[in-house]
Structure formats: structure tokens, C-alpha cells
Structure 1
Amino acid sequence: MPPKNDGGKKKLSKAEKEKMKKEEAERKAQEEEEAQRKAVEEEKKHKEMEMLQAEERKKIEKEEKKHRKVQMNELFEILDANKNALQEMSTKKLKDMKWARYMKCDGSPDPTVPGEINTYINLRLENMDKVSSSEALQLVELDNKLIEELDFWLAHPQDLTESNVANYKEAITDLQKLMSTKLNDVTLDILCKATELQDNETYNLQYTVKSENIYLCVWGNLSKKRIKPFEFVEKGFTFDIPKVLALTDCAIRVMFTKYDHLSFKSKALYPKQKKKVIEEPEEAPEPKDEEEETKKEEGEPSEEAEDDFEDPSTPEPAEWEDFDEDDDIIDLRAYHIVGGVISFDLIELPPQPKQVNTWTITAQISPHEVRHIPYIADNANLSLIQKEVKEGQEEKKREERPPISIIYKLPEDSMFVDEPLPGRWDEDIQHWRQDGFTDVKFDEEKRIVQFKTSYFGKLALFQDAHINMPFQSWEIRPRGINNAIFTIIAAVIDIQIEIKDNLCCVIQPTDKIELQPLIEKWMKPEELIKTLKRTGIDIFPAEDSSKFVNVQNKDTLLEERIYQQIALTSSSMAYSWSKWNSEADKRAIIYLGSESLNDESLLEEDWSVFKSTKTRAMKLKVSEISENFSDELAEDIEFQSNLYHLTKIFLSDEGKARLEKTDFQYVDCVEKLLIATKVLTYA
């Protein structure tokens, strides 16, 4: 029988197996090598792509920087031209004022010339000629105008030397002392004629005289009768006359002055900035190649640096010290005087002239000055009463010198929206104090405040300086070329200010009696700010107001630039508060804007959301009523380097024409009001 077939398979020899293994290994090696080569090529392509993309980004950034530099240079050319025009106008105005003062022939001295002002003060002090009380007050008003003139020059110190500044301040102090002396002289002259001026019904002295900034009221106890509280009806000021004074030769002077010559003496008026601890820098490691490092530092600026617009660095926000005086001292950073200063003085009534036959005998008063009667209510010094005094005796002791009850109808030009804080001036420590007052009550509807005071002296009513902050919203919209309405909805008052050319005025609210004298009264922005503050409407944050108001502080350089550009475009554009601004960090400011060529209020759908940073200004797709914020740009509107150039993209021809016609004085007026109110931070 033949042998079985193995199926044609030939058994591989050992050598053949080795060969196959070798071939398989070579094939795998080739595959791995090919895969590695492809990976290297892919990596190379990826890197090349990244390099191309980086170069493209760099190119785009370079073009953007070039574009920004062109736009920013163009913007600053406009701003610098406006600034130079304002500076030239201001310089001319100051020169004209100096010349007008030099040519003035009304007999008043030039307070900036030490010889003239010193001679004037000495002659005024030596002059004892009798004049009417009304004429005497007019002379004191002249003294006050000289102080205002010096204050003006101190506020414009461009050409002043340190010696000038020192002389002006010394002259102000001397003039203030002169005013005080002359007001005392007027008071004494009135008291010396008390019987001549006495009231026919009460037989007491009741005399008032007033001038522009001073209202002097004098009561003299001639009848020596126990009387009810006395009221100076013209000023709505009522005070009690303690029983202990009923039989004494005393007088009470109540003098109202619109100026405040006291607060500047108090340290509490001035903000205290925290001192920054300067840390010693760590020693940097030496560069490996010192020559190369030196070349990098001293080398020519790069092309990119030349293309970019150099922004100054934003200074670090200041940090402020907490108020560290006693609790009784009034913090003048947190509270402001409203309604001026009241001098409430207890004075000796001098002996009156006596008629003997045909002779009139008049006592000679030497020295010729008012004499204040010390009076401090017993309840102010309860700690001094001996503990062993019985309760009944203590009560009797208290009643001998009771606190003085005062009822005061607030001046019609002073607005209090909350209970006033009474304060008294302490000359010894040069501060306003809030102790010594009890039973304070405020009737807002009748505009009457009443309280009891343990002290005579200088009094004032204070109001929270930040009661209107933060603001609820704001808006500025054009009424025409160089004409706009600026509205602030503050915490307790809504106010509208019209701006026209280089002047502004309050136009709303018209139902507040305190604002009636200001409605449609045109003035420079600095004057309006000062007047509103004096009235009690403080919508102007101070440098340290963020210590008292919870706000999101913004980059100061960015904020200032936006105010400049809002002012530049405010003849064509309306701007307003945005709810998104408080959610943005300090490096971004968000607000609403819209072209507005008609003198009409804008509808909600008219507004667009704008965002500005130090390098970009954008019109966004998001709206004020969107649920979530997004940085997505509005369609067909690319970002620009600043707001001014952004508006020029979408403004109509008429809107652009208005920009060209906007006057630099109007721009300055708008900018000053925006900077003063800081609406981008405090709303």
C-alpha cells in the first residue's frame, strides 16, 4: 500500500524560519520608521501651521496697534487742541482780571499786594468812626469779597510762587480776624444804644440788620422781666431765656453767616491717605550673558513698540485712613455744613446812657469790645457734681443752668432730606463737636428743627455728605449743537441740569422751594457745583468717597477718557447708565449709548450697550433687558480703539456734522460736570 500524502506542505527548515522572522522584523521596523516619519512630518506641519497662525495673529495685532496708534493720536490731537484753546482763553482771562484790578478805582485794596492789604487792615482796625450798623456790615462784606478774591487766585496757582501762596493765606487769616472784630464792634454799638432801640411793647432790645451774607439779630434784657421764649420772626429762630438770666444785664446775639471761616482749621476736613509700605525689591539673578542682557536693555525699541500707542500706567487707587478722632468730633469728610454758621452768643449788656437834667451820662467801655458771659448747662457737667449731693439738691443744681431750647425754621435756600446733626465749634481743639445737644427733632414738612444745647457759641447744622449716593441712574442727551440735558436720579433727589455752550443751570425739580433761586440761573460749572453743595444737594463724590459708599471703583485713566469722549460726542450722542457696569471689573466700563438728533426722550429699544477698556471700545449685541451678559459684538460694527472713533462709524451725516461743530468750551463744561459727579463709578 503506498504511503499517505502530507497535503503538499513542506516542513520549513530552521534557516527558513529564521529568514521569515528577520523579514517580519524588517517589515515592522519599516512600518514603525514610516509611522515615525509621518508623525515627524505631521508635527512639523502642525508647528508650521502654528507659526503661520502666530504670524497672522501677530500681523493682525500689529495692524490693530498701528490702527489704534493712528486713532489715539487723532483723538489726542483734538483733545490737546481743545486744552490749548482753553488754556489760552484762561490765561487771557487771568491777565484781563489782573489788569482790571490794577485799574480799579473804587478805593478797595489789591489783596494780592501785601503792602496794600496790610495797610487796609490796619486802617480798618484803627478807624473808630461811627457808622450805621448797615454800613458797617457792607464794609465787612467788602472784607469777605477780598477773601474770595484771594481764594480765586489760590485756586489758579499757575504763576504763584511759594511766597505768594504763603502771603495770600496769611492775608486771608488776617481778613477773617478783621471781619470777626468788626462784627463784634457792630454788636457792641447796637448794645450801647439798646435803650434807644428798645421795643415799645416788651421794652427790651430787639434789633436785626442784614447784608448779602450776614444776618445779625440782637436781643437785650432791658426790662429784667421773666419772659417766654423769644423769636426773631424774620429768621424763624426761637430760643429760651433761662430764669437765671432773667434779672441779669445780658444780651443774646444770633448771627447767621453764609460763609464758614472755621471748618478749614479742623484736621477732620482733610482726607488722610494711608502710607504705603515700600518693600525692598529682591535681588534679581544675574543674567547668564551680561553683554546680551545689556544689549536688550539698551537696544533700539522694537518695531512693535514703535507701532503701539503708549498708555500711561494707571496709578494705584489710594487707600484712606479711618477717622481716628473722638466719637464726639464730627468727621468733616462724612458730614457737611448746610445753611452756614450760626453765632449764638451770651453777651454782657453794657451800662446804658442816663439822662440827668440836660446831661446824658454815658459809661466809657474799656476795652471797647464785647464781653461774653460764660454759660454751660449743668447737665453738661454732671460728672463734676459731687456724689454725696442728695438727689433733690442735684436736681435743683441742674435747674439753675438748664440747656437752652432752640427752634429754628431752616433757611429756604438750604435742603435737608434727613434729620440735621447739630454741631458746635470747639475753639480749644479746633474741631466741630456733636456733644452737648439733646432732644433733637426734625419736622421735614414744616422744615423746622429743634434741639437743646448746653453751650453758647458757634453752631451749625450738618448733613450726611453721601446721602445721595450711590446714584440710581444717569443720562445725558443732546438738545442741539452745544446743548444737552444731564439727568441724575440720586438716592433722594432727581435733578436735571441743562448745559449750553460754557454755562449750565438747574431746570428740575421745580417743586423744591430750596432750588427756586437756582432754576434757570446760568453759571459756570464750578460755580454751580459750589452752589448746589452749599444748598445741601451734594451729588459730587470726593476723592475718598468710596470709603463711605459701596461702589465698584473703575480704572481712573479709563474713566477720565470716557468722560472726555462722552463730552466730545454729546452734541450727537445720548448716553446713560447700564445695569451691566457694576458686574464688570475695574478694567472695563459698560454704559448705554444712542444717536440722538431730536430733542426727545429715547425709548428702551433705542439704546445700545457699549463697553470700553483702555485699548478698545465696542458696541455689543447684548441689550439692557438680556438675561445674561455677552461680549459678542453687534453685527457689522467692529471694535475701535476709543469711543469717539466708534461713534463715527455708525453716526449719520448730520451726527458727524454736529461733532465737527461742537465748541471746545461746551465740551469742557460737560466734561467738568461728568468728572465732578463720577457717574460711571457712583451709579
Structure 2
Amino acid sequence: KSKLVLKLIEKLKLILLETPPYDLEDKNIKQYQGSILELQELLHLKFNIATEILLRQASTLADLDSGNMEKVIQDENVTLYVWANLKKNPRYKSVRFSETQIGFEIPRILATSDIALRLLHTHYDHVTPLRPVPTSLREYTATVNHLVKDEVKYEETAVDKELQEEGKQQENESNSVHEEETKFEEQSGSEVQTSFVREESEATKCELEMKLLSETVLSAQFLLIKNANEKPYIFEDNEVDLCQFTTLGGVYHLDILELPPQCKPTKGWMIVEILKEGLQKYIYPPETTEDVETESAFPPIEVTLEVQENVILFEDPMVARWDAEGKHWQTD
């Protein structure tokens, strides 16, 4: 089902990307973008539910050596790394997932806490906001198309009238010159002249439409350049320029979670307490630190990531983090 959701998201993004702006109405754009966001939230909710179910069974999946749970679940779109701190051993601060180079270095305060760490590696980017569709260009192009259609109709009417007048004039001249010819010959000549007039009319219409179409394309291109969003020249400190860079290799989501109540075997039954709130995040560092120096008392978690084998790097990659408040990527 996750693959189906991802396919739907990609199809909606493709529609917004490939459809000309003047063919999309505002309500359709809002509907497509809203559907994309809802599908992304649905996908993230599914990962949270799966993580919660896994963490409830952490005690039954514990490693024999460390006593803690380490689990890696992988498919073609995501890789999930989950570590549950069951023993709360203050000396056990280094975590390495088996057969990988991915791991954590956690501070002592977390090593003694009832927590779990989840590293979700998605091979897609659902964090960067969707790009807006240029409304001004869409409205202008639709207006231009409407005016062009009206102009084509007006020109076609004028051409038809002109050709009809020429046809009548030619027919009168033909009648005056060939009065002595038979009725059959007059009818035959009239049919030839009518077909010639029709062919000339169609050729003139086609030429007019091509001319107007060329003018419309030039106008649209000029407006596109005129209304193009200018690249900002001033960025905040350590902010990533999305006009120059893009995410590569997916996104890593690191979460510190509260360890849910563990299931307990009782007389052949497995009893587990299911919290109404569901999966909860562990607040670190605490919100009320008062006068304590946060960085020294609550040091950060060190994360080690492994570069994929199918990636060739010609220079050092830029690692960035998502700033939820500023809605941009930062390299600090």
C-alpha cells in the first residue's frame, strides 16, 4: 500500500509539473496539492503506527548480548532503523546496527532514559515544500487565448465575406462573358469556381491561425520571462539555495521516542497496555532548563550515516538539516 500511495503522489506531482498553467484552474491546483499533502501525512502516520507496534514487542526482540532491541527493516523506498533502550546501561552509549556503518553516539542522560531511537531513511523527499504554480501567467495566458479565439473568429468572418464578394464578382463576369454557352457549362464553371474559393478560404484561415498562434507563443514567453520569480541574492546564514541545489539520496528522519509499555506474557497470553495518545516523542533537551548550559548538560546525539554504494562523489557532499520554523534547509 505504501508503494501505491507513493505512485499516487508522483502522478499528482507530474500533473502539476507537465500540465500548462493555463489549463489548470485554481480549485484543481488546490485540490491536487491538498491531496499530495494528505497522502504524505497518511504515509508518515503509517510509519508511526508500524514503529509503535514494533516497540511494544521490543522486549521479545531484544539482542542477547546487549539486552536492547536493534531492528532494521528495508524495502526499495524506505529503510527503518529502530533501537530500544531496554537495559538503561549508562556505559552503553554507542549503537551500531549490524552489517551497516550506521549508528549513534548517545549522551549518558539518554543512555539511562526510557527511550527509543528511530532513524527513517526515505529515498524520496516529502519535506521540501511544493513549488507554487505561477497564477499571474496562468490568468494572462487564458485571457490571451480567449482574445485570440475571438480575433480568429472575427478574421474568419471578414475573410468569408471578402471571398464571397469575390466569388459573386467572378460569377457575374463569367455569366456576362459566357452568356451564349449552355446551362450545363455554366453550372460546371460555377462548381469549379466555388471549389477554388473554398480552397483559398481554408488556406487563408490556416495561415491566419498560424500567425496568431506564433504571436501568442511570443507573448506568453515574454510574460514568462517578465513574471519569473527572481532568484533571491540574500540568504540567511547556512541556508541552502534550492535554486542551485536539490536533495540527493533521500532524507533521514531522526526521532527520539518514548518507549511504550512492553507486552508481558501471562498464562499463555500476551498482555500489553495500549496508550491512547499513541507514539510519543521524547523531548530532548527538556524545555525547562533554567540557567543550565544546554549544550554541556544535554549534549547532542552523534549520528553516523553510510553513503550508498551506487553513489559516486566527485566532491564532499553537503549535509543539511531541515529548519521547521524557517521552512528551509540549513547546513549548520
TM-score between both structures, scaled by the size of structure 2: 0.64
Which residue in 2 is equivalent to 1:373? 282
SS for the counterpart of 2:117 is strand
User: How big is the shift at 1:337?
Assistant: 1.6
* 8 Å CA contact retained: 2:93, 2:107: no
**Structure 1 residue 258: deviation in Å?**
0.8
Partner of 1:229: 94
* Structure 1 position 173 matched with structure 2 position 37: yes
CA apart distance, 1:408: 1.8
SS in structure 2 of the partner of residue 253 of structure 1: strand
The 5 A counterparts of 1:232-311 are 232-264=97-129
CA displacement 1:637-680 (0-9 Å, x = unmatched): xxxxxxxxxxxxxxxxxxxxxxxxxxxxxxxxxxxxxxxxxxxx
Change (3 A) 1:266 1:249: farther
Letter aligned with residue 350 of structure 1:
P
Distance between the aligned counterparts of 2:128 and 2:233, measured in 1?
16
- Equivalent residue of 2:63, what SS? coil
String of CA shifts for 1:337-374, please: whole Å, max 9, x gaps.
22110011111111101234555431121122x21112
Between the aligned partners of 1:193 and 1:257, the Cα distance in structure 2 is 24
Q: CA deviation at 1:263?
A: 1.2
Aligned equivalent of 2:300, options 364, 380, 403: 403
Quickly say closer, same or farther: Cα 1:142–1:407, change in 2 above 3 A. Answer: same
- 1:362 and 1:205 mapped to 2: Cα distance? 17
Query: After superposition, where does 1:21-420 map in structure 2 within 5 Å?
Result: 139-157=1-19, 160-225=24-89, 226-264=91-129, 320-368=230-278, 370-376=279-285, 398-420=295-317
For the residues of structure 1 that align with 2:130 and 2:27, how far apart are their CA atoms? 21
Q: Deviations over 1:298-344 (max 9, x none)?
A: xxxxxxxxxxx999699579793433342132221232222110011
Distance 1:256 1:235 in 2: 14
Residues 211-264 of structure 1 show CA distances to partners (whole Å, capped at 9, x for unaligned) of 221111101011211314212244421211211011211110011101101112
The percentage of aligned residue pairs carrying the same residue is 32
Could you tell me whether the CA contact under 8 Å between 1:242 and 1:402 is conserved in 2?
yes
Whether the 8 Å contact between 2:240 and 2:330 is mirrored in structure 1 is: yes
Question: Unpaired segments of 5 or more residues in structure 1?
Answer: 1-138, 271-308, 379-383, 436-683
Give 1:153 deviation, angstroms.
2.3
Structure 2 unmatched runs, 5+: 135-210
Q: What amino acid does structure 1 have at the position aligned with 2:95? A: F
Change (3 A) 1:246 1:185: same
- Code of the residue aligned with 2:11 in structure 1: it is E
409, 414, 433: which one pairs with 2:330?
A: 433
Cα distance change, pair 399–377 in 1 and its aligned pair in 2 (3 A): farther
Secondary structure of 1:216's match?
A: strand
**Contact 1:266-1:431 within 8 A present in 2 as well:** no
Aligned partners of 2:320 and 2:330 also within 8 Å: yes
* C-alpha deviation, 1:179, in angstroms: 0.5
Query: Cα offset for 1:416?
Result: 2.9
2:105 partner amino acid: D
Matched with 2:197 is none
Distance (whole Å) between structure 2 residues aligned to residue 411 and residue 154 of structure 1: 31
| Cα pair 1:377 1:403 within 8 Å, conserved | no
| SS class of match (1:338) | coil
CA offsets 1:554-598 (integer angstroms, 9 cap, x no match): xxxxxxxxxxxxxxxxxxxxxxxxxxxxxxxxxxxxxxxxxxxxx
Q: Which has the higher helix share?
A: 2
Letter of the structure 1 residue corresponding to residue 47 of structure 2: L
CA gap of 1:234–1:176, structure 2 versus 1, over 3 A, is farther
Q: d(CA) in 2 for partners of 1:257 and 1:245?
A: 25
Q: Is the 8 A contact 2:93 2:108 kept in 1?
A: no
Higher radius of gyration, 1 or 2: 1
Q: Is the 8 Å Cα contact of residues 266 and 430 (structure 1) preserved in structure 2?
A: no
The answer on whether the counterparts of 1:141 and 1:211 sit within 8 Å (CA) in structure 2 is no
Preserved contact between residue 258 and residue 280 of structure 2 (Cα < 8 Å) = yes
Q: Which amino acid aligns with 2:281?
A: H
The 2-side partners of 1:335 and 1:239 are apart by 28
Query: Which structure is richer in relative contact order (CA contacts within 8 A, separation 6 or more)?
Result: 2
Corresponding letter in the other structure for 1:372: K
SS of the aligned residue for 1:146 comes to: helix
Task: Verify the 8 A CA contact 1:425 1:433 in the aligned structure 2.
Answer: yes
Q: Distance in 2 between matches of 1:244 and 1:223?
A: 14
Q: 1:560 corresponds to which residue?
A: none
Whichever residue aligns with residue 70 of structure 2, its letter is Q
What secondary structure, in the 3-state scheme, does the structure 2 residue paired with 1:421 have? coil
Q: Is the 8 A contact 2:117 2:256 kept in 1?
A: yes
Q: CA deviation at 1:163?
A: 3.0
Give the corresponding residue for 1:111.
Answer: none
| TM-fit CA distance, 1:266 | 8.2
Secondary structure (helix, strand or coil) at the match of 1:409 reads coil
| 1-structure distance, mates of 2:117, 2:124 | 21
Whole-angstrom CA distance in 2 between matches of 1:266 and 1:373:
32
Q: 1:250 to 1:212 in 2, by over 3 A?
A: same
Aligned counterparts of 1:350 and 1:385: Cα–Cα separation in 2:
28
> AA paired with 1:243?
R
**TM-score scaled by structure 1?**
0.33
| Alpha-carbon offset, residue 377 of structure 1 | 9.9
